[in-house]
Amino acid sequence: MAHQSLYRKYRPQTFSDVVGQDHITRTLRNAVQENAVAHAYLFCGPRGTGKTTTARILAKALDCEKGPTPDPDIACAACIEIAEGRHPDVYELDAASRTGVDAIRDEIITKVNYASTRGGYKIYIIDEVHMLSTSAFNALLKTLEEPPSHVVFVLCTTHPHKVPETIHSRCQRFDFRRIGMDDIVGRLEYIASEENITVADGALSLIARHALGGMRDAIGTLDQLASFTGSNIALPDVEGLLGEVDAARLFELADLVTARDAAACFAFVAKLAESGTDLPEFVRAFTGHIRDLYVTAAAGDPTGLVLTTTDSLPRLEDQATALGPDRLMRLLDLLGQLTGEMRWASDQRLALEVALVRMSRPESDLTLESLAERLLTLEAGIPVVLEARAPKARAAEPAAPTTREVAQAAPATVSAERSEAAGPAKPARAEHAQQAPRPEAAVQGVTAEKPELPVSEVTAAERVHFGTIDRPALKRAWADILRDLKATSAAKSKLFLNTDVEPDGDTVVVAFNPDFEMNMKIAKSEDTVALLRSSIEAVLGVKMAVRYQLGRGGVRLPEAEDAPPTVPRAATAPSRPPEHVESPVTPEPAAAAGDVGRALMDVFGSDVVQHTIVSSDGSADAGTHPDAPFVPEQTGLLDDDLD
């Protein structure tokens, strides 16, 4: 004899056996008890939720030998025959295989007026009624509207929208809901105990989740797993056969993302890969879990909105509270992108790892959503420390001077430069013009060995609130910092073209090209430094000090032999004193350049701005005379940059 499927063996026989449809069974019980049974019912709902089973139980309640009764004894001949499909007064028609009008005419219209054979009622159960043709529906209309008093129609369908409205209006409609996970797990536990099937913890929950609210699918899956494992169902067997992911894994990964533990996320993905888990299927399950968290966070009460067990509900609510709806929305966006990427990704593991890092560390993701998440974190008062990797110190290089040492050496240097500028300017410039060309080291782009000037005075109290940033993040964010600075002051942002940055603890070191030393001197004004620090804080989310220096890479370039060779500049010829400068051929541009020079000196001071005095014989002299024409090439600025 063939093995009887468990879903047929354990089909409900009474209204009390029906699981998860109390709103329907209670109504039908009261209707039978009060002799108020309608002449036509329309049972709608997903597959496996009990539509046909409930129709048969209603037939038992009406034709039971002790009935009509809301509690049929299921032991009399009538109940047994109805359960086996042999009762002469209960007609079951499959509309999917008999869709034409002839079947309706032969099976229903020509026989409906005959009296019942044994019971008090004739019950017509039409399964998948939406498959009937239009002609068949039209032929059924009149009979369905005014059937004999001893006839009851029960129409079952999974697609009620395909049933004509004329049929809807003649029936009482009952909508069968998807069965909850707790009800499915409870029914599976009962069947497993009756069949002596050993089931591991968590396996029944996976089966219930895979069934998507269908009891028949859940029982059929249990039957399949029992045959596959020999009545000893383990959790890996369920995961391998169904492709479902254990809820404990989903909760574990969500905890790692909540804690922003990127390293643990990498280890988690490694375990998934080693166990042979289907990564796209895992991403689908994790997306569903984040969706449940988002619904819980947004709705507050997830009852009836998420598919989970009662035991998992408190943990679901805790995770939803910890993440919050805004961050969960960003996680859903990232998972949606990941789902599309994994279809064509050559390395699905790498795609998953990158997505998890973007979820757990928004500071590494320079998108509007990640910046918004970081701002919300700061507004909530949650401390976020951006760790910076300290560069390894070279043994051959001397230690860099500290900020305090630079600040102590700066006043003497500034005073010396200002006293030199305040002295007799003309003889000093003449002597300077007759000197030999600048050393080869300066020509090669190596900075002179002199102490750096302090850019801004930062007190110890301010540094308490400063943060740090790692080198890759600072490198990526430098372009955004300059764009933010340009939005505030386009002219000042031009000073930082062709610059490089490096982190030094809580300080951003801005390295200028040695050929553009004038840019660095102009950028040392207090308002420029303040704007730059403001842009750094706006983009990175942390306060940091600023230090300028000549040389690339954030450190002083050594006098090495492998420095890139450059063409030495021609030595300048001795120039005449400024009072003997001959007027150029075209005085209007010179006058305009002189205006620019005076304007820059008004803003930045005569001890900072340098320009070139051009004589008629082509000689050049570097000076600070306010009436001399200003040539922007000397500062590395072009005419269109002086906006």
**DSSP-derived secondary structure for 7-63:** HHHT---SGGG--S-HHHHHHHHHHHHTT---SEEEEE-STTSSHHHHHHHHHHHHH
507 plus 543 within the same structural domain = yes
**Domain presence at residue 560:** no
582: Cβ–Cβ under 8 A, 6 or more apart, which residues?
A: 615, 616
- In the block, tokens 């009509």 appear at 68
CATH of the domain at 60: 3.40.50.300
Structural domain including 204 reads: 181-242
Match 């049974």 to its residue by tokens.
Answer: 37
Distance from CA of residue 155 to its chain's centroid?
45
> Sheet of 545-550: strands edge to edge?
500-504, 507-512, 545-550
| Residues 491 and 608 occupy one common structural domain | no
Q: Does a cis peptide bond (omega within 30 degrees of 0) precede residue 454?
A: no
What confidence score (pLDDT) does residue 61 get? Answer: 93
Q: How far apart are CA 631 and CA 344, in angstroms?
A: 56
Residues 160, 210 share a domain: no
Same domain, 145 and 224: no
Domain boundary among 224, 242, 260: 242
CA separation for the pair 520, 452 (Å, rounded): 11
Predicted pLDDT of residue 11? 92
Number of domains in the chain: 5
In a domain, 134, yes or no: yes
How many other CB atoms sit within 10 Å of the CB of residue 84? 8
Looking up residue 194, the CATH number of its domain turns out to be 1.10.8.60
Quick check: helix, strand or coil at residue 332?
A: helix
Report d(CA 164, CA 20) in Å as an integer: 28
In a domain, 272, yes or no: yes
Q: Which two tokens stand for residue 190?
A: 């009962």
Q: Could you tell me if 81 and 219 lie in one domain?
A: no
- Is the separation of the CB atoms in 197 and 204 below 8 Å? no
CB 592 within 8 A of CB 637: no
* DSSP letters spanning 455-472: S----HHHHTTB----HH
Residues 587 and 636 in one domain: yes
Tokens representing residue 509 in the block: 């070191």
Q: In degrees rounded to 5, what are phi and psi of residue 61?
A: -65, -30
CA dist., res. 627 & res. 578, Å (int): 9
Residue 389 lies in a domain: no
Calculate the alpha carbon distances from 331 to 136, 252, 287, 313 in Å: 51, 16, 9, 20
Query: By three-state DSSP, how is residue 621 classified?
Result: strand
Q: Residue 123's beta-bridge partner residues? A: 90, 152
Give the position of tokens 């072009």.
638
498 contacts 487 by C-beta, under 8 angstroms: no
Give the tokens for residue 614.
């051009």
Residues 144 and 171 sit within 8 Å (Cβ to Cβ): yes
- DSSP code for 423: S
Secondary-structure breakdown of the chain: helix, strand, coil percentages, each rounded to the nearest 5: 55, 10, 40
**Identity of the residue numbered 214:** G
Structural domain contains residue 420: no
Threshold 0.75, pTM exceeds? no
Based on the domain organization, do 362 and 510 belong to the same domain? no
* Residue 386 included in any domain: no
Is 556 part of a structural domain of the chain?
A: no
Contact partners, residue 21, CB within 8 Å, separation at least 6 = 49, 50, 54, 176, 177, 179
- Cβ atoms of 534 and 572 closer than 8 Å: no
What's the CA gap between 176 and 158, in Å, rounded? 10
The answer as to whether 396 is a domain residue is: no
Query: Are 187 and 167 found together in one domain?
Result: no
pLDDT value, residue 639: 42
DSSP letters, 435-450, are SPPPPHHHHTTPPPS-
Helix (H) or strand (E) holding 419: helix 403-422
**Residues 630 and 539 occupy one common structural domain:** no
Residues of the chain scoring pLDDT < 70: 1-2, 363-371, 373-374, 376-461, 464, 552-643
Of the CA atoms within 13 Å of residue 220, those in its CB half-sphere come to 12
Q: What is the pLDDT of residues 358-371, one digit of tens each?
A: 888 876 665 666 66
Q: What is the CA radius of gyration of the chain?
A: 42
Q: Which of 154, 175, 196 is the last residue of a domain?
A: 175
540 and 631 both lie in a single domain: no
Sign of the dihedral defined by the CA atoms of residues 540, 545, 551, 553, in that order: negative
* CA–CA dist 314, 320 (Å, integer): 10
Are both 465 and 535 inside the same structural domain? yes
Which of 502, 530, 550 is at the close of a domain? 550
How many CB atoms sit inside 10 A of residue 507's CB? 19
Answer for the pair 606, 626: CB distance below 8 angstroms, yes or no.
yes
**CA torsion, ordered 548, 552, 558, 563, to nearest 10 deg:** -150
Shared domain check, 603 and 523: no
Q: Do residues 117 and 123 touch, judged by C-beta distance below 8 A?
A: no
**CATH of residue 541:** 3.30.300.180
